[in-house]
Structure 1
C-alpha cells in the first residue's frame, strides 16, 4: 500500500493569520493544550485583501475544513475532533475548522532520516508491518506533527477538490 505525508501548500501566502494563539495554546505543546479546551474554541485572526481559507492549514495547529473532516471520517470514523472558529471581527468574517486528534503510530523504519534536532523528516520510510491498515494517522518520531494518509484516502481528498493540500509520497518497507 502507498502512503503520503499531508503538507500545507506554502504557495498560498494570503491566508488567515491567528492572533494571540499563544494565550490559548502553549507553544510547543499545542495539541496537549487543545485537549483541555472546550469542544468549540474561537481564534481571532487577521485577514488580508485576498485571504484564502484553505481546506488544510497547519498554523498554529493542524486544522481541516468540514470537507476534509467528512472525508477523513469515511476512512477513520472514530477520529475525535475539536471545532475551531476563525474570527476576523474587523471584517465580520468567520470560518469553521476542525482539529483532528489522530492515532499516533510508531511506524518509522530505521532508514528514515531526520532534519537537524529531529524536528522533521528528511526521508520518511514506513515499516509496513506496523501500519495496521490505518488510513489516516500521525507518525511518531519527529517533533513536528506529520500526518500520513493511505493512497485511497489521498485520492478521495483530491476528488473533492480540496484547497491547500500537498502530498509527499513515503517509502513503505515490507
Structure 2
C-alpha cells in the first residue's frame, strides 16, 4: 500500500491570481464536517494576466479542477465538493473548480515521530486504519495536505495534471 501527499507546485510560472487572495499565502482548511456552513457555489474573480491554472490550489482554500474532482470521485465514496467558478471579467471567461472537503481521519501510525517542539520528524500512516480509503485528510492539523493512494496518483498523472506535487509517505 502506497500513499502520497498532494501539494500545490508554487514554482509554476505565470500562475493565475485571485483579486482578493494570495494563492501562495495563508490558507484556510475546511473539512467534510464544514459542508453545511459553506455556500454551495462561489465565484472568485481573477486578476488580469496569469495563464497557468494549476489543477490543485492549496491557498486560500483547497480547490481542485473538474478533472481532479472526477478522479477523486471515482476512488472515494461520499466525497463532498462545493462549486467554485473562477471568473475573469476582462477576458470574459469562466473556469469550473471545486472546493475540496475531505474527511478528517486518524490514520497516523504509532511509529510516527515528533520533535520536542511538536513538529514532524517521521510521518508514518497505519495501513490497518487506512483500510479501503483512497483520499483523506489527517485529523492532526499539523498535516494540512490531502493524502491520496497510489491508484489515485496514477490516475491523476495519466490525465496530465498541472501544478500538483506528489510526495510519498511511509505506510506501516
Q: RMSD of the alignment, in Å?
A: 2.7
Unaligned runs of 5+ in 2: none
CA distance in 1, matches of 2:44, 2:55: 16
Q: In the TM superposition, what is the alpha-carbon distance from 1:106 to its structure 2 partner?
A: 0.8
| Residue segments in structure 1 that go unaligned for 5+ positions in a row | none
Deviation at 1:114, TM superposition (A): 5.7
Per the alignment, residue 156 of structure 2 pairs with 157
Cα distance, 1:44–1:115 mapped onto 2, change above 3 Å: farther
Report the CA distance shift for 1:28/1:116 in structure 2 as closer, same or farther (over 3 A).
farther
Q: Structure 1 pair 77/130, CA: closer, same or farther in 2 (3 Å)?
A: closer
TM-score, length basis structure 1: 0.82
Residue 121 of structure 1: CA displacement?
Answer: 5.0
Instruction: Identify the residue that residue 128 of structure 2 maps to in structure 1.
Output: 129
What is the number of residues matched between the two proteins? 167
Task: Report deviation, 1:92.
Answer: 2.3
Q: Is the 8 A contact 2:124 2:171 kept in 1?
A: yes
Corresponding residue for 2:86? 86
Post-superposition shift, 1:34? Answer: 6.8
TM-score by length of 2: 0.83
